[in-house]
């Protein structure tokens, strides 16, 4: 760029606009709420209801969903909140450590392994049909993070259990179906068991409008790209610190806030006391509260986790 071009750009204010957009992007990816993600909300009665539509795979990608394994637990050296390398077929130091605990045959070791287990989440693009709690979301495209139980409902729709049920592709614009998300609290946990698919039908009757929605979708493959995972060596170092194998690294409020976001998104299950929580920075405490409120039995990854440990033990 020539100096004269720089001066012209300055007079037009283009550089200012670019800088503002970059700052907004930085805020979105480094501690601020990710505006791409949609979350259901409960009303004052403790129930929640919304209607969403799962969307086809983004342009150039094969699947309309991706899955992510994460770890989130606290040790004597602090929190370990990281994406699990098994998501991309790598070797995860936490999984290896848990495998040793599981194989010890000691029930207390198995309990520790359970608390440190990997958590399973799925991500898909959705179109919000109805969201009374946040009507401004209606007609918009978002990423939606959900657990194994909702994924099982998707698979049941694609592969019905009974012969008199017609299989559908919930991710299809024309032959798919809206998903009626019904949220309630059961034994203190968010529960989605009553959620169900509506009758099959086109999302909209206008193909041009459907194409416009499709073009607004977010990349799913980016969520599990290489830059979303730390190296095995870095993860091992962090694990050593958290478990107290080495002196805990002194960390600033900023690093704690970044860690609360992790390298990607997660739905950890926190077992924390008020005393422990009070020692954390206010920003981190707020994030933990949000995460704790989002914990639900919808995850349903217990069987997956235990079978995973068993396969490791049998190998």
* Strand locations in 138-294 (E): 141-146, 179-186, 189-191, 196-197
The alpha helices in 69-124, defined as continuous H runs, are 93-103, 107-115
Residue 128 near residue 138, CB atoms below 8 Å: yes
**What's the confidence (pLDDT) of residue 251?**
41
Tens-digit pLDDT profile for residues 60-107: 999 999 999 999 999 999 999 999 999 999 999 999 999 999 999 999
DSSP code for 177: -
Query: Which of the four CATH numbers 3.90.198.10, 1.10.1050.10, 3.30.420.40, 3.40.50.620 does domain 37-314 have?
Result: 3.90.198.10
Q: Apex CA 122: angle with CA 24 and CA 32, to 5°?
A: 20
Mean pLDDT calculated for residue range 252-265: 36
Burial 220-239 (b: 16+ CB within 10 A, else e): beebbeeebbbeeeebbbbb
Lowest model confidence (mean pLDDT) among 2-6, 195-199, 280-284? 280-284
**What's the confidence (pLDDT) of residue 1?**
54
Tens-digit pLDDT profile for residues 106-143: 999 999 999 999 999 999 999 999 999 999 999 999 99
258 membership: H or E segment, kind and range: helix 253-261
């Amino acid at each position: 760029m020539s100096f004269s071009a720089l001066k012209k750009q300055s007079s037009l204010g283009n550089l200012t606009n670019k800088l503002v957009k970059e700052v907004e992007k930085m805020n979105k990816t480094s501690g601020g709420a990710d505006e791409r993600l949609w979350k259901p909300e409960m009303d004052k009665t403790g129930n929640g209801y919304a209607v969403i539509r799962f969307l086809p795979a983004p342009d150039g990608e094969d699947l309309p969903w991706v899955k992510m394994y994460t770890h989130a637990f606290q040790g004597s050296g602090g929190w370990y909140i990281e994406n699990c390398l098994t998501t991309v077929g790598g070797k995860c130091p936490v999984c290896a450590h848990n495998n040793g605990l599981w194989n010890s045959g000691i029930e207390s070791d198995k309990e520790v392994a359970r608390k440190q287990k990997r958590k399973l989440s799925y991500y898909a693009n959705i179109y919000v049909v109805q969201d009374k709690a946040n009507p401004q979301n209606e007609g918009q495209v978002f990423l939606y993070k959900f657990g194994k139980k909702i994924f099982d409902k998707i698979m049941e729709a694609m592969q019905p259990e009974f012969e008199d049920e017609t299989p559908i592709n919930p991710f299809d614009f024309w032959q798919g179906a809206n998903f009626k998300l019904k949220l309630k609290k059961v034994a203190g946990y968010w529960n989605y068991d009553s959620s169900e698919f509506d009758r099959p039908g086109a999302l909209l009757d206008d193909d041009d409008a459907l194409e416009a929605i499709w073009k607004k979708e977010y990349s799913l493959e980016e969520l599990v790209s290489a830059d979303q995972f730390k190296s095995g060596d870095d993860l091992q170092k962090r694990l050593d610190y958290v478990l107290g194998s080495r002196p805990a690294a002194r960390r600033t409020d900023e690093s704690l806030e970044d860690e609360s976001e992790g390298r990607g998104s997660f739905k950890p299950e926190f077992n924390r006391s008020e005393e422990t929580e009070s020692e954390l920075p206010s920003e981190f405490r707020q994030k933990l509260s949000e995460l704790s409120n989002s914990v639900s039995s919808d995850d349903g990854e217990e069987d997956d986790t235990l079978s995973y440990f068993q396969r490791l033990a049998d190998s």
